[in-house]
A and B are shown apart, each in its own frame.
Chain A
């Protein structure tokens, strides 16, 4: 069995390896929430409730996106508060919404080869499409780019993008290299989902994360 790393700790681990995340604030109470949204956050916003045992938040409907005003955000917060009643929560998160292409970046510790890194198209459907590439860590930028370009996501990295939507090859490759370095240097991580990862024309951000650790003494 593995245990999940808490959200706050996960964020510091990502930050330590230069993996960018959207601007976000972690709050516990509605007073903290009101204070946070009154401040510098840029709309639209996303509000999430983070359970202590962070499963897939979308499936449990603990994420509300596209909030354009402070009023909408407050409403979202209170409905999440209700939905999450009975679920032990670590915190609530208010995040600036990033517009771009959704990917998944993951890792899994293989019995024979150790840490591996995976990149695939879009969010929750990757298990259906099975369009993804894998490498054994560590990874350099060139290999990371090859990994990105061997999936159907290649279209988004081309000069003109796919239907005008472009994702930055450089930023996404750098993101992969950082993620690979992170798991390589943290062998206690047995599995990781950065999902979704959203890439824009000039950046790449881990919007949500789930990091599983080896349980001590096993």
Chain B
């Protein structure tokens, strides 16, 4: 089916939502979804806003749920219903879909499990579901999904435990349960989202459709994708090739184990395993492959807030030799080239005030007693040097280290040189937190570990 973005618009921007299967049982999915809509979040989190449109609980067994009037059927809802979230047993789904069709509901979120994921019988039911929705021209998300969260529209049509804050990264996930944990983790780690969607079994809309939709979504600057499998790899590549030009796409692919298959004595079959093909495909269509889900969000966060660069020539600034050397090792492992500092650059650095024992080479070791002025001399010089494409700033914690002022040096440099990627390793804990917090608030990727910084830098340089 050709991609029609209005289908996803209907999911993302409804003015009225019905929760079919809304329940008085606090442990039910139906109550979870209703709470998400009414309060913005099941669990109390700062900043979650109630859905600004109309919300209708539907359930023949209740007269009211959470203090809202509950309707016996979607037919009884007085106004129009743009979006219906189905939280009913699998056996009831087809009937409810038909009623929604008659009511002229535009889009459905089917949270219910028990479809294609359980085998042949479920697959049949899923086909019926898609056919029934198609009959009425309705959009379906799911089945077997957590739902959709769109922070910019204050829409939380999901049974996630909490809602993340409004940000610039769209997260498209094939796993519902994983999304739930991710949200909890994201809140804890200050990650924010423009969209969070769990595609479930993709009876109709799949991961590729959402990637394509994000291309022109003004709220999304980078796309994070968790994927287990895909039907149409060529369409995925075609879409990603185009979308990744303007919106970086980061993929975490599960199910890498499958090695090549022994077949009829040919070599190629035994060599070409499916994950090798995924790696090749991603490279061909500009998708960044992450190794784990923290990386996925770190990459997506960095790519949403900074421009990518193809100038693979990195300088490392550090106030600790060990951290610098480690970082250089990790850079090399990830295909990053370290710039060789010229005599001219060293002269400029010295004229701005270096320690006598500074390293005179990359990684540029400023020596442990470096104050913000020395960091500024180094960071400004390197960022303004033409043959250097990007900079990693490492700060180890010494008694005289001023972590907040060091952070400001980096923030200023990023403003002055927006085309050069920069990321930081502010190693430490409690006493470096004020500096690292400031960096993150200003859209600069910050890590406690040089390896993660090198990986993110590699992602920003298009090397992964």
By a beta-carbon cutoff of 8 Å, the part of chain A in contact with chain B is 1-2, 4, 55-56, 104, 106-108, 110-114, 116, 118, 120, 124, 126-127, 130, 132-136, 143, 191-193, 195, 210, 212
Contact = CB atoms under 8 A, between A and B. Distances in A.
B271 A126 contact: yes
A191 B284 contact: no
B189 interface: no
B281 A106 contact: no
Range for the number of chain B residues in contact with chain A? 20 to 34
Interface string B259-279: 010011111111110101111
Please classify the interface of chain B as helix (H, G, I), strand (E, B), loop, or mixed, using the class held by over half of its residues.
helix
Given A108-B269, A110-B277, A212-B263, 16 more contacts: A55-B265, A106-B272, A112-B230, A112-B233, A112-B274, A114-B233, A116-B280, A118-B268, A118-B272, A127-B270, A132-B271, A135-B284, A136-B277, A191-B269, A193-B266, A193-B268
B404 interface: no
Nearest to B265: A55
A152 B232 CA distance: 33
Contacts of A2: 263-264
Interface string B386-426: 00000000000000000000000000000000000000000
B268 A191 contact: yes
Contact of A106 (B233, B266, B276, B278): B266
Please classify the interface of chain A as helix (H, G, I), strand (E, B), loop, or mixed, using the class held by over half of its residues.
strand
Interface string B77-110: 0000000000000000000000000000000000
Given A56-B265, A192-B266, A143 B284 contact: yes
Nearest to A54: B265
Contacts of B269: 108, 191
Contacts, number: 86
18 contacts: A4-B264, A106-B266, A107-B268, A110-B272, A112-B230, A112-B231, A120-B271, A124-B267, A126-B271, A127-B267, A127-B270, A130-B271, A132-B271, A134-B277, A134-B279, A136-B281, A210-B265, A212-B266
Given A136-B277, A136-B280, A136-B284, A114 B267 contact: no
A133 B276 CA distance: 9
B273 to A, nearest CB: 9
A107 B266 CA distance: 10
Nearest to A107: B268
Given A108-B272, A113-B233, A114-B234, A193 B267 contact: yes
Nearest to A211: B266
B274 A111 contact: yes
* Most chain A CB within a 10 A radius of its CB, from B265, B268, B274, B284: B268
A114 to B, nearest CB: 6
A174 to B, nearest CB: 19
Nearest to A136: B281
Contacts of A136: 233-234, 237, 277, 280-281, 284
Nearest to B229: A112
A193 B274 CA distance: 18
B399 to A, nearest CB: 47
A195 to B, nearest CB: 6
Nearest to A146: B283
* Most chain B CB within a 10 A radius of its CB, from A56, A113, A124, A193: A113
The 9 closest A-B pairs by CB, nearest first: A106-B268, A113-B233, A112-B233, A134-B280, A108-B272, A193-B266, A110-B277, A55-B265, A136-B281
B174 to A, nearest CB: 14
Contacts of B272: 106, 108, 110, 116, 118, 134
Contacts of A135: 280, 284
A114 B277 CA distance: 10
B266 A113 contact: no
Given A113-B281, A118-B271, A134 B234 contact: no
A2 B264 CA distance: 8
